[in-house]
Each structure stands twice: as structure tokens, then as C-alpha cells.
């Protein structure tokens, strides 16, 4: 089965590409490298023995994508391509709406032209907004976003749902990721943020590698067990494997289905700091700072639906995630620039 990975050179796409190759799929990557490195292709080859087919294109560009579909006999698509920085999306909302929505619209036009009707989409737990009743989120809960990035995810979810309603052969799987961290056990691929990281784990690993002096813990007065924010961290390899299950599901069903991909465990910022110290035998200096605007106290996944229907379950724990994040960072102090 030939699977197009839009944005497949990125953090989650590259890990999914490895899992696809290991399971006998033929991945084709389309990426404009706006937030990734061409070196990822050699790393994937080192891990799997196979270099994925690669097109350096903007997925929003109809002609380039059309050419790819003419040249490759694509059976299904996993749509990762998009911008993902919540803070940046407040500053440049149009840039976010344009890229995240235009890539999807072009993709759907080209898929229709070439008779491809299976798509798995990278959505996010951010679409649940601020939990009203319980921090344990299941797929039936109402959606509402607090930031432009999140709205792009919700709008794309709706565009895909409407497409599947209009076209009876269409199959859409919406995957709502919780907080992916960790890296492939080889240490050859991993999260490679530009500049100072926004997210917790790459910030911690950059403190560990002494690029940054200490971690700023954003608030210790949240309504959580130790006052720091609680999230559901999931190993990126578990997440990647969820995509293979989603593809199998899309192959057998029409219409739209949505699944949370999380572990079901809520971990505080201090839990992550302590697990990192334990897993890697080092202290992470930190200071308690003001809350980061827009952050939510606590949420984590109810992953029951994915467990039961996709037959998928997260296997790695927080210790594994911390070990593998550090293994990637210590071997690649400057990410793919080393
Ligand atoms: P990433 O930035 O590492 O990967 C996205 C890839 O898309 C990059 O390689 C980038 O170059 C590419 N891209 C962006 N716009 C493009 C365009 N117009 N044409 C072609 N390529 C383009 O991000 P990631 O962490 O791997 O996330 C993948 C997807 O999952 C994104 O859609 C993101 O919004 C979503 N997601 C990520 C997280 C997270 O915490 N990492 C959480 C929830 C959802
Ligand atoms: N945090 C710190 N210090 C930091 C960075 C983060 O204390 O330097 C805290 C945050 O306040 C929060 C927790 O660590 O309590 C996690 O923050 P992240 O920035 O790592 O992740 P978020 O939960 O804010 O958001 C991430 C992605 C979103 C995605 C969401 C899905 O950035 O794009 O997960 O749940 F939508």
C-alpha cells in the first residue's frame, strides 16, 4: 500500500514513516521543509534500510501535488502538513489559517481528481478547549478552541467531515493527539524545534544539554495535585503506530471517525522533571515562574475508543519517553544541524 505523508519530514511524520516502512507500506513524503530538514531522509534510511520517496513541494500548490499523484499510485493519505505553534498563531493568524486550510483544500481536490478516498488527519486535543466537567476527555465532548491554531484544526476536521458526507466512498479518520514527546530508540530522529522551544520536553532536553540555563515552570498555583499543569504525554512511537491502525480502519470503513491518541495518564510538569532526572540520572534546574497565558490546569485522554475500536494502546511510559528524548538530544545537540 502506497501512503502519501504530507509533512512527513517533520517530527511525527518521520516517526510514522519508519513504522510504515517497518510494516511493509510504501511511504511517499511531500514536504516543503518549512519546519524540517532534508537530513531526516538519510536518518530514516539508516533506521529502516529504505529511503522514502520524497517530493519537496508545497502541499497547497495544486500543480505540484497533482504531478505527485500522477507519478505515484497513492492509495491513502496521512495529512500532517501544517504549522503548529500556538503562540505564533496568535501573532500571525492569517498565515496559520492559510497554510493549514489551503493544504487541506488542495489535497482534497487532488485526491478527488485521482480517485483517492482515504485520509487520516493530525488533529489535536486542543480542539476540546477548556474542559468544563472533567479533565478526562473523550471524543463525544464538545469542541471549542482557545487559539487560532486550534481553530484551524477544528475547521479542517469539519471540512473533512463534510467531504465524507458528500462522497459516500470517502473515509476520514481524525486523530486527536495529546502531548507527543520522546524519540525513536535509535536517537537518529526526534523533535527539532526552531529557536527556543515552546514545549516542555524539548525545553528540558535543551537545559540538560546546557543550551538553556534552567526550566521555567509556568505556574505552581493550578488546581492540580502539585500545582503545576497536567497533560497526557505520549511517546511519539506509540503515536506513530496509532496511524497504522487508523489506516487499517480507514481501509475498511467509510464516513468519519474520531479517536483520541493518548495514554490516559495525567502527568504534571514536576512529574516530567522528576521522571527525566530519574531516567537519565541528572538534575534539571528549574524556577517557578508566572503562568503562561492560555494554559489550562489539567487534561488527559480517555483513550478507550482507540483501545477498543482500533485495537491500539500506548505501550511506553513516562520513563521511556524521558530516556528516548534525552538519547535524541544528547546525540544531536543542534538537532539535524549537527
Ligand atoms: P512538524 O512541524 O515537525 O511537521 C510538520 C511538517 O509539515 C514539517 O515538516 C513542515 O515542513 C511541513 N509543512 C508545513 N506546511 C507545509 C506545506 N504547506 N507544504 C508542505 N509541507 C508543509 O510538526 P509535528 O509535531 O510533526 O506535527 C505534525 C502534525 O500534527 C501537525 O499538523 C500538527 O499540527 C499536529 N499536531 C502536533 C502536535 C505536537 O505537539 N507536535 C500535537 C497535536 C497535533
Ligand atoms: N511548560 C512549562 N515550561 C515550559 C513549557 C511548558 O512549565 O517551558 C508547561 C505548560 O505550562 C504546560 C505543560 O508544560 O502545563 C505542557 O506544555 P507544552 O507547551 O509542552 O504543551 P501544551 O499542552 O501547551 O500544548 C501541546 C502542543 C499543542 C497541542 C497540545 C495538545 O503545543 O499544539 O499539546 O494537547 F495542541
In tens, the pLDDT along 25-38 reads 999 999 999 999 99
Residue 161 is predicted with a pLDDT of: 98
Instruction: Average the pLDDT over 132-148 and give the result.
Output: 93
Residue having the nearest C-alpha atom to atom 10 of ligand 1: 35
Instruction: Average the pLDDT over 253-267 and give the result.
Output: 98
Q: Which of 18, 12, 31 is nearest to 121 (CA)?
A: 12
Q: How far is CA 115 from the centre of its chain?
A: 27
Instruction: Average the pLDDT over 223-239 and give the result.
Output: 98
Instruction: Average the pLDDT over 196-220 and give the result.
Output: 97
Q: Which of 233, 178, 216, 181 is nearest to 202 (CA)?
A: 181
pLDDT band with cut points at 50, 70 and 90 for residue 105:
very high
Which ligand places an atom closest to the C-alpha of 10? 1
Instruction: Average the pLDDT over 258-268 and give the result.
Output: 98
How is 215-239 classified by DSSP, letter by letter? EEEE-S-SSSSSSS-EE-EEEHHHH
**b/e per residue 168-177 (b: at least 16 CB within 10 A):** eebbbbbbbb
Q: Ligand 1 mean position to 84 CA, how many Å?
A: 6
- Predicted confidence (pLDDT) at residue 115 exceeds the cutoff of 90: yes
Residue 145 is predicted with a pLDDT of: 82
Instruction: Average the pLDDT over 144-160 and give the result.
Output: 95
Residue 47 is predicted with a pLDDT of: 98
Asked whether 99 and 79 are in contact (CB, 8 A), the reply is no
- Predicted confidence (pLDDT) at residue 270 exceeds the cutoff of 90: yes
Q: How far is CA 102 from the centre of its chain?
A: 19
Is 149 among the residues known to form the active site?
yes
If one residue of 4, 9, 30, 35 were mutated to test the ligand 1 pocket, choosing by the most ligand atoms within 8 A of its CB, it would be 35
Residue having the nearest C-alpha atom to atom 13 of ligand 1: 81
Residue 76 is predicted with a pLDDT of: 98
Residue 306 is predicted with a pLDDT of: 98
pTM value? 0.98
- For cell 467531515, what's the residue? 161
Could you give the CA distance from residue 24 to residue 137 in angstroms, rounded to a whole number? 33
Could you give the CA distance from residue 231 to residue 299 in angstroms, rounded to a whole number? 5
pLDDT band with cut points at 50, 70 and 90 for residue 146:
confident
Instruction: Average the pLDDT over 177-181 and give the result.
Output: 98
Q: Please tell me which residue in 11, 55, 96, 149 is annotated as part of the active site.
A: 149
How is 247-270 classified by DSSP, letter by letter? HHHHHH--EEEEEEES-S--EEHH
pLDDT band with cut points at 50, 70 and 90 for residue 200:
very high
Instruction: Average the pLDDT over 170-183 and give the result.
Output: 98
Amino acid at each position: 500500500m502506497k501512503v502519501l505523508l504530507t509533512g512527513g519530514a517533520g517530527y511525527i511524520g518521520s516517526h510514522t514513516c519508519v513504522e510504515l516502512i517497518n510494516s511493509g507500506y510504501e511511504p511517499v513524503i511531500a514536504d516543503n521543509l518549512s519546519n524540517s530538514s532534508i537530513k531526516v531522509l538519510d536518518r530514516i534510511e539508516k533506521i529502516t534500510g529504505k529511503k522514502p520517496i520524497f517530493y519537496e513541494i508545497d502541499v497547497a500548490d495544486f500543480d505540484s501535488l497533482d504531478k505527485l499523484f500522477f507519478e505515484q499510485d497513492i492509495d491513502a493519505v496521512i495529512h500532517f502538513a501544517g504549522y503548529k505553534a500556538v503562540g505564533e498563531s496568535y501573532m500571525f493568524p492569517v498565515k496559520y489559517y492559510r497554510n493549514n486550510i489551503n493544504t487541506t483544500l488542495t489535497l482534497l481536490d487532488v485526491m478527488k481528481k485521482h480517485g483517492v478516498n482515504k485520509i487520516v488527519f493530525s488533529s489535536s486535543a486542543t480542539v476540546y478547549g477548556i474542559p468544563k466537567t472533567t479533565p478526562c476527555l473523550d471524543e463525544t465532548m464538545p469542541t471549542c478552541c482557545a487559539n487560532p491554531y486550534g481553530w484551524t484544526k477544528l475547521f479542517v476536521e469539519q471540512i473533512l467531515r463534510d467531504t465524507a458526507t458528500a462522497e459516500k466512498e470517502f473515509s476520514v479518520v481524525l486523530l486527536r493527539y495529546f502531548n507527543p514527546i520522546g524519540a525513536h530508540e535509535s536517537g537518529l530522529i526526534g523533535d527539532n524545534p526552531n529557536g527556543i522551544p515552546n514545549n516542555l520536553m524539548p525545553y528540558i532536553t535543551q537545559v540538560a544539554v546546557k543550551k538553556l540555563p534552567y526550566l521555567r515552570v509556568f505556574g505552581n498555583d493550578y488546581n492540580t495535585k502539585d500545582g503545576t499543569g497536567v497533560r497526557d504525554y505520549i511517546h511519539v512511537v506509540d503515536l506513530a503506530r496509532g496511524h497504522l491502525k487508523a489506516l487499517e480502519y480507514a481501509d475498511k470503513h467509510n464516513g468519519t471517525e474520531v479517536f483520541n491518541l493518548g495514554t490516559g495518564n495525567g502527568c504534571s510538569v514536576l512529574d516530567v522533571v522528576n521522571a527525566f532526572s530519574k531516567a537519565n540520572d541528572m538534575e534539571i534546574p528549574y524556577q517557578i515562574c508566572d503562568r503562561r497565558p492560555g494554559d489550562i490546569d489539567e487534561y488527559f485522554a480517555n483513550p478507550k475508543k482507540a483501545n477498543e475500536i482500533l485495537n491500539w494502546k500506548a505501550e511506553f511510559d513516562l520513563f521511556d519517553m524521558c530516556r528516548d528524548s534525552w538519547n535524541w538530544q544528547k546525540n544531536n545537540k543542534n538537532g539535524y544541524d549537527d
